[in-house]
Amino acid sequence: MITEFSPNLENFIQTFRTGTSGCYGMCDCGNEYFNVDENTNVWEDGELEDLMSRAEKTPEMVFPVEFSVDTLYEPTTAVPCKQYVTVCGCWIEEAETWMKRVDNWRPWITVYLNLEKKRMQQEAVALHTIEI
Ligand SMILES: [Zn+2]
């Protein structure tokens, strides 16, 4: 489990976060994370006890944490894409590959985005105004 990230990974997390968090999350790798905060009243009867029991039996796969569980998307075109639990860290190697790819292609990506902006502006100008 990783709770501190390098600045570039923090930017990656900020970019690809799902925007959802909660008391439980299962990472794409199969690891589970759950918030043991006693003020969290979202558990069904026995659910938290079951998670605690599984955390004791398989501490390498089930992790009690004391914070809300955040998730992030895999940057891909696959639908549905994978979702990772941020603190799992299993996604870091793949994220670094994506960051290197984007950094290496930055000049071409910049040209593409500017061309797309121009195209979209031309399309917007060509739209008819809807009269009331
Ligand atoms: Zn994982």
Q: Is residue 1 part of a domain?
A: no
Q: Does 75 map to a domain?
A: yes
Per-residue pLDDT, averaged over 98-102, amounts to: 94
What distance in angstroms lies between residue 64's CA and the mean position of ligand 1's atoms?
14
Q: Is residue 52 part of a domain?
A: yes
Q: What is the pLDDT of residue 76?
A: 75
Mean pLDDT of 123-132: 89
Residue 110 resides in a domain: no
Mean pLDDT across 22-29: 94
Q: How far is the CA of 28 from the centre of ligand 1 (A)?
A: 6
Q: Which residues surround ligand 1, an ion (CB under 5 A)?
A: 27, 29, 31, 88, 90
Domain that holds residue 98: 7-104
69 and 34 Cβ atoms separated by less than 8 Å: yes
17 located within any domain: yes
In a domain, 12, yes or no: yes
Average pLDDT over residues 80-95: 92
- When pLDDT is averaged across residues 9-25 and rounded to a whole number, the result is 92
The structure tokens 């979702």 sit at 83
| Percentage of the residues of the chain whose pLDDT score is greater than 70 | 98
Task: Write down the H helix ranges in 2-130.
Answer: 7-16, 47-57, 92-104, 106-126
- Gap from CA of 112 to ligand 1 centroid (Å): 33
* Contact status, residue 29 vs residue 90, Cβ threshold 8 Å: yes
What pLDDT, in 10s, does the model give residues 34-87?
998 866 678 888 999 999 999 999 999 999 999 999 999 887 777 778 899 999
> What total of structural domains would you count in the chain?
1
pTM: 0.81
Cis peptide before 107 (omega within 30 of 0): no
Going from the Cα of 48 to the center of ligand 1, the distance in angstroms, rounded, reads 21
pLDDT value at residue 38: 63
Alpha-carbon distances, residue 32 vs 51, 81, 84, 92 (angstroms): 9, 18, 10, 17
Please indicate, yes or no, if residue 69 is contained in any of the structural domains.
yes
Instruction: Give the model's pLDDT for residue 77.
Output: 74
Residue 113 located in a structural domain: no
> What distance in angstroms lies between residue 54's CA and the mean position of ligand 1's atoms?
17
